[in-house]
Structure 1
């Protein structure tokens, strides 16, 4: 069953509209509705806030401000992971960024709440704000660590000597803009008070983080908080932690003793939910005439909020990608009065590889070498910075197979040399790498007397297929048909996981399910082997096979349900666990990653510089694939996002106010169907026995890694114009286009 392209088991519910998302639960009856009022300055202080007109508006039940908001817990820096900490709101008149909540209006209908929100009158004393990254970039400081606890800087060998003596050098700076996760389901919640308890229906990627954060913020017993998140309409990092809408709904529900719903509008998401930081990246490559790297350096400066530090691990991937004896990586932070940075799909790898893989393409061009061959020549035998072996590295296989399938031999050797009518045509490629992480996860599997199984964990399904793959793993582990397995997810009363994020969700939860099923098989075989009524008694149960709802040994067979009913009439259960990677020696002794290679073809209009992606192929190595259909879907989604980062996505800050002026999907551009005509993803067969017992690794974020660079490199190959300030837009390409007739 594992490895089959099983259709999504939750698909029928979703297409029928029967899968309830956070805002769609009605079990508690008619709720009240909350609408958040955001600050209209980027830095300063509230000097007066008048809520009288709003309070007397039709249907209004409450207006909450810093004057009447309940006391809340503080952000405890001793809690190692941000998403588990308290997230207090409305605690003072101070304004830290544009759009920060200054009031919550609660009314009987959403329209009443939104209308009354416009009646809240706020006066401010503006302070001097820092909103322009370029203006303050030189004031960057050194963080203690970067995201995921990785070291801020690394150094191997003598970079300066290696770079200065290299025959061929690339020394370029790349800039990437602010980017946002934009899931179809906005950040939303419903909070229902029941006595001293709160039931929180929330769009969250990590149930345990939401549970802890709400309890820490409200300063109440965690046992009083009940999180329910069975379906999440996308997250991409934006729902790893909870945000203002959830805390405000919880505060209002407690105060009014009634259910309260709050959802962010699409525009509010741009101001109240964190984003991918903007970055300025310097990449230096020093190589011999044969293309072998002698030195590689990747230095990154990015923005951070001064009160909530976030350092994206943008240079970290460079530490494992290519061989070179002399190496440097560094991260620096520039404080700005903007919303904090947060994890956005493939944090670090996505913007970092956009720069490094563009630089590698430039090096190939200056050497007159094929970009695939250049990368193969710099393939390391061990992790070049850690000095440990790779667990399972097939990057070269991905590049060679991708080149074969894509028809890479037809790539124009000279940039701007191929035309099809008005269109300049070019090919580009890039490598992909992403670290594989393992986080603590517990799963309970229970078999009932009728031979059906239930899998329980607070793991979430954010549209990636968790329900389906866990069904497959449990069905194989117990020898049951998929329709006799039920998956229960997304509730805080269930065994704790680290949810969906970091591409660890599938591997962590599936490994835990596999182990729980192994424990159940042992219990059931012990029971059958000692039972005089069982046809399996006295046989060598080491050869037992669980299949089609039966247990077979040689020619003997017994129904699984009969064993359970006879020995465990109330059912039998077992738990399986996946431990934290820091406690697993494999993650110390090996460098464990996923890999891929992207290939892209673009057309660029010779008159207007309009860029059209024509086709794109990714070939990936991710260990064992649990479900080819859901894996391919994830990889293609990532590839599209990578193309979007290269060509379209850019959140623009007004340097006068700190407001994002591109704060809707009419101005913050993402691809539509016409932008992505032909994309395919191929996964190589594999099994990484160092990653986990299933040999499976995460795929969700690998697809975006390097994808944008392949598109950027194709634009250069088509036009001869190298753009290093992303996204690549018309005005950056047009001045460098070759004259007509060439």
Structure 2
């Protein structure tokens, strides 16, 4: 078949759902109008470990509007079957209201149902819970470690001993919480044995499989609806206990139930980026060629599940290093289970590795970019595979030119503007190109419009828009004549909306389905004696603006509408699919970036201001430049938070999160965000997927925090290894 003209893909188009969002017509989880719904508020555990000894509900039940209080004393016993089709980590997931055990501070111990939200909230405050409390273990530094996951190549200890230059660095990386604008919320309704939930989720299929497993239901007895997600950053990648609480409450009450987590409950009701202690020893020769790296990582997880993330990958393949060892130890604590957060694993590792590379460059008197160039690998040394595409050197070159890197003085604390010390820093970033099986249903109607459906999500990157762009070009239609629908488990299944895999996976399925439908139409036309295209080779026909025509003779053709009308066809339909190649990988697939930062630090007060930032990305084909810019800005803003603001404070006496609110857990606001620019290298990666994309949403966050930290060092001469970088750390 002839390649289709590309009118929508690559164009900086506005979001197709933008008007719905700015006018308030987009419905988020808690906003669906489900008739007869009552309100639920969870009662959180007030201890960090132990068991519930009593629950006094009399005052709550006497409050006007309160209908019911449910706890382990009267909740139904649930099957909680194993669920391989989920993002549940290994272990025994939390079973709500199934026993009297308390595993972390804030664990749901009861739920109050009432006719109004206010009555439910006040009723929850009236529930008196008695405990047999035990001292919780919540301090990463004082807890027992699990046996490590190990990786090794070469002899790292020998490589370190023989190195001309050695660094031994320890970093303490704070826990970060997702803090999306929309809180997590669920509305649950039972119709006999059929369960429908309207939920904030980044994976409707995952929530569907988990609820089916928890309640012992057939998969087709559970429907999950989630058309809009108000930010997620990974927090919606698994089905949390509150979703089960809402479903239990709805079944027990015999009425639909709406449950919305408070901002405080978001800190222990959903996951978080885990805290780490990370020791890195590295050695090099006098020219800066790395001889060895030894990584030791201790990461928090819950006592009941073992959460891991891909923190090992960057240390294995980002730089050419003949001798590498890694030990990744989990530290079980009395906390709720962590979860993936933007750039999971890679962002944490990058802070350590990229800060250390900057320190090594300073020690050697080398430019940080030159040091990285000298350690650029020829292949993925963790697997021996060639890179499908890797243009990190070009990212350095373009970034240095556009950012004015030549103006950087490698001597710290030399550039000053009044009270402000000025510094420049940079870092590299990498994130693997993930692809998973996906399907999409495509229907071309007789009126020349198309409908495409997939059970995907859109937490902000613009899935509605980007998938419409792919479909419009593949079908030869305009954007306004294509409708893309997502967020319903009744639609064809797709993978989780995370890991930068949506465009590659769902987009490739959409492309396949649309290609099939377009080919069906072309075959109808070229085999129809009444068509102007009769007898034309199918490969010579393209479609543009809903009209099929000969590629080199636009006058010879006809519209979809006339073709389908003549054949009495109400529609053409196909199920598109994408499955990554089976068997061993033949390439190492990754997206890359070089991030540059300029900071100003008040020499007296220690205040840090990020003045400008630039990201240069090797991310394959860019489907939508406007959406890509939105992703890059968001990733950089999140990195500013990691570098300068965000950290969770826990009272280790009882496991309470002290700053579980947006007044005390600081996130970047408009005043913290500088001039930000993003540049995307032209190119594509057809070995990765049919669209040639490599993923963008994760890699834009990786490397941002260390670029800022390295700029702070250049400004002040102070190396901070325990982010966030606060004023007191610099004084």
Q: Scaled by the length of structure 1, what TM-score is found? A: 0.95
Q: 2:645 aligns with which of 630, 648, 654?
A: 648
Q: For structure 1, which segment, 618-627 or 328-337, has the greater mean C-alpha deviation from structure 2 after superposition?
A: 328-337
1:77, distance to aligned residue in structure 2 (A): 6.7
| Deviation readout 1:390-443 (Å, 9 max, x if unpaired) | 000011101110010000000022001111111111110000111110011100
Q: Which of these residues, 108, 113, 129, is aligned with residue 122 of structure 1? A: 129
- Structure 2 CA distance for aligned equivalents of residues 715 and 386 of structure 1: 35
Counterpart residue number, 1:164: 161
Which stretch of structure 1 is more off in the superposition, 406-415 or 557-566? 557-566
Check the 8 A contact 2:10/2:623 in 1, yes or no. yes
Partner of 1:92: 99
Q: Which residue of 1 aligns with 2:193?
A: 196
Within a 5 Å distance, the mapping from 1:7-22 to structure 2 comes to: 7-22=14-29
1:301-700 equivalence runs, <5 A: 301-553=298-550, 554=553, 555-567=555-567, 569-579=569-579, 581=580, 583-585=581-583, 588-700=585-697
The answer on 1:250 being equivalent to 2:209 is no
CA distance in 1, matches of 2:157, 2:700: 34
Q: Does 1:47 align with 2:53?
A: yes
Report how far residue 256 of structure 1 moved. 1.7
1:194 & 1:316 partners in 2: Cα distance? Answer: 46
Q: CA deviation at 1:29?
A: 2.0
| Distance in 2 between residues matched to 1:424 and 1:78, nearest whole Å | 53
Q: Which of 24, 29, 35 matches 2:31?
A: 24
* Residue of 58, 66, 69 corresponding to 1:60: 66
Q: In 1, distance between residues paired with 2:285 and 2:496?
A: 46
Q: Is 1:299–1:315's contact at 8 Å kept on the other side of the alignment?
A: no
Mean Cα displacement is larger for which, 325-334 or 42-51? 325-334
Give me the whole-angstrom Cα distance separating, in 2, the residues matched to 1:100 and 1:403: 49
| C-alpha separation in 2, matches of 1:346 and 1:134 | 24
The 8 Å contact of residues 313 and 331 in structure 1, kept in 2 or not, is answered as no
For the residue of structure 2 that corresponds to 1:182, the secondary structure is coil
Per mean C-alpha deviation after superposition, the further-off stretch among 70-79 and 232-241 is 70-79
CA distance in 2, matches of 1:475, 1:77: 37
* Secondary structure of the corresponding residue to residue 589 of structure 1: coil
Residues 362 and 410 in structure 2, CA contact (< 8 A), matched pair in contact too: no
- 1:265-284 equivalences under 5 Å are 265-284=262-281
Whether 1:730 aligns to 2:700 is no
Post-superposition CA distance 1:427-483 (Å, at most 9, x none): 100001111100111001100011100000010111110110111001000100100
Q: Hey, what's the Cα distance between the residues in 1 that align with 2:727 and 2:93?
A: 44
Query: What does residue range 230-249 of structure 1 map to in structure 2 within 5 Å?
Result: 230-249=227-246
Structure 1 residues 345, 551: closer, same or farther in 2, change over 3 A? same
- Choose from 132, 141, 144 the match for 2:139: 132
Report the secondary structure of 1:266's partner residue.
coil
Contact 1:83 1:241 in 2 (8 A): no
Cα drift, residue 568 of structure 1 = 5.7
Mapped partners of 1:72, 1:320: distance in 2:
45
Listed one character per residue, the Cα deviations across residues 609-648 of structure 1 (whole Å, up to 9, x for unaligned) are: 1111111111111000000000111111111111210111
Shift of 1:569: 2.0
CA distance in 2, matches of 1:492, 1:87: 24
Asked whether the 8 Å contact 2:135–2:654 carries over to 1, the reply is no
SS at match of 2:313: coil
On the 8 A contact 1:86/1:213 being kept in 2, the answer is no
Residue 196 (structure 1) shift: 2.5
Deviation of the 1:114 alpha carbon: 0.4
State the distance in 2 between where 1:32 and 1:532 align: 62
Runs of 4+ in structure 1 off by over 6 angstroms are 83-86
Structure 2 CA distance for aligned equivalents of residues 409 and 51 of structure 1: 69
State the 1:297 CA deviation: 2.4
Give the whole-Å Cα distance in 2 for the aligned partners of 1:595 and 1:425. 27
1:111 has 2:118 as partner: yes
Task: State the secondary structure of the residue aligned to 1:602.
Answer: strand
Query: Which runs of no fewer than 5 residues in structure 2 stay unpaired?
Result: 1-7
Which residue does the alignment assign to 1:34?
40
Q: 1:497 to 1:364 in 2, by over 3 A?
A: same
Structure 1: how far apart are the matches of 2:280 and 2:460?
Answer: 36
**Partner residue of 2:287 out of 282, 287, 290:** 290
After TM superposition, the structure 1 stretch with the greater mean CA deviation from structure 2, 110-119 or 196-205, is 196-205
Shift of 1:244: 2.2
Residue 149 of structure 1 corresponds to: none
Q: Alpha-carbon deviations, 1:695-742, whole Å to 9, x = none?
A: 0121111111010000000010001000101111112111xxxxxxxx
Within a 5 Å distance, the mapping from 1:204-223 to structure 2 comes to 204-223=201-220
Give yes or no for contact 2:36–2:255 (8 Å, CA) kept in 1: no
In the aligned structure 2, how far is the partner of 1:313 from the partner of 1:727?
22
CA separation in 2, counterparts of 1:370 and 1:86?
48
Provide the secondary structure at the position in 2 that maps to 1:703. coil
Whole-angstrom distance in 2 between the partners of 1:40 and 1:88: 18
Deviation sequence 1:657-710 (CA, Å, 0-9, x none): 111101001110111111112111111111111111110121111111010000
Over 3 Å counting, the alpha-carbon distance change for 1:278 and 1:652 in structure 2 is: same
Higher mean alpha-carbon deviation, 73-82 vs 92-101, is at 73-82
Contact kept in structure 2, 1:479 and 1:548, CA below 8 Å: yes
In structure 2, how many angstroms separate the alpha carbons of the residues matched to 1:193 and 1:387?
A: 53
User: Per-residue deviation at 1:189?
Assistant: 1.1
Partner residue, 2:4:
none
Is the 8 Å Cα contact of residues 230 and 491 (structure 1) preserved in structure 2? yes
Aligned residue number for residue 148 of structure 1: none
CA distance in structure 2 between the partners assigned to 1:132 and 1:283 by the alignment: 21
Check whether the contact 2:72–2:109 (CA below 8 A) recurs between aligned residues.
Answer: yes
Residue 86 of structure 1 deviates from its aligned partner by: 7.1
Paired residues of 1:507 and 1:696 also in contact (CA < 8 A): yes
Deviating more after overlay: 185-194 vs 466-475:
185-194
Matched residues, number: 720
Q: Which residue of 2 aligns with 1:738?
A: none
Q: Would the aligned equivalents of 1:470 and 1:510 in 2 still touch at CA under 8 Å?
A: yes
2:451 counterpart SS class? strand
Contact (CA 8 Å) 1:75, 1:87: kept in 2 or not?
no
What is the Cα deviation at residue 507 of structure 1? 1.6
Measured against aligned partners, the alpha-carbon deviations of 1:480-514 in whole angstroms (never above 9, x if no partner) come to: 01000001111111100014111101221111111
User: Any idea what SS the aligned residue of 1:89 has?
Assistant: coil
